[in-house]
Amino acid sequence: MFWLFFSTAVGFCFLAGLFDDIESERGIKASVAIESFQWLVGPKPSFRAYFLRDLLLLAAVTAPSLVLHFAHSPAALAALVGPVVYGVKHIFGGWAWTALLAAKK
C-alpha cells in the first residue's frame, strides 16, 4: 500500500515538475521574466538545468518517507505530503509562466 501511494505522489510531482520546467524554459526564451530561484541553475537556465535541479529537490522531499518506511514507521505515509506539496508548487509555477507568456502576446 505504501508503494502505491509513494509512486502516485512521486509521479504527480514528477509530471508537475515537467510542466513547470517546460513553461519556465519557454518563458526564459521569450524573455518575459528571469528565474527568481537561481540556486544551481543561474539567471538563464536551460530545460536540462531545471530538470536536474528538480530531480535533486524531488529526492530531498521523498527521502523522509523512504527512511520512515524502512524504519517501519506509520509516519511514512504522512511524509508523502512533501512530494505532493512540491508538485502543487510546480503547478502554480507553471501557471505563472503561462500567464506571463499570455500577457506578452
For every residue of 34-98, DSSP letters joined together read --S--TTT-SS--HHHHHHHHHHHHHHHHHHHHHHHHTT-THHHHTTHHHHHHHHHHHHHHHHHH
Does the pTM surpass 0.95? The reply is: no
Q: Which has more confidence, 62 or 103?
A: 62
Nearest to 6 by CA among 56, 81, 92, 73: 81
- What's the whole-number average pLDDT of the chain? 91
Q: How far apart, in whole angstroms, are the C-alpha atoms of residue 25 and residue 52?
A: 13
Cell of 76: 511514512
pLDDT for 65 beyond 90: yes
pLDDT of residue 43: 76
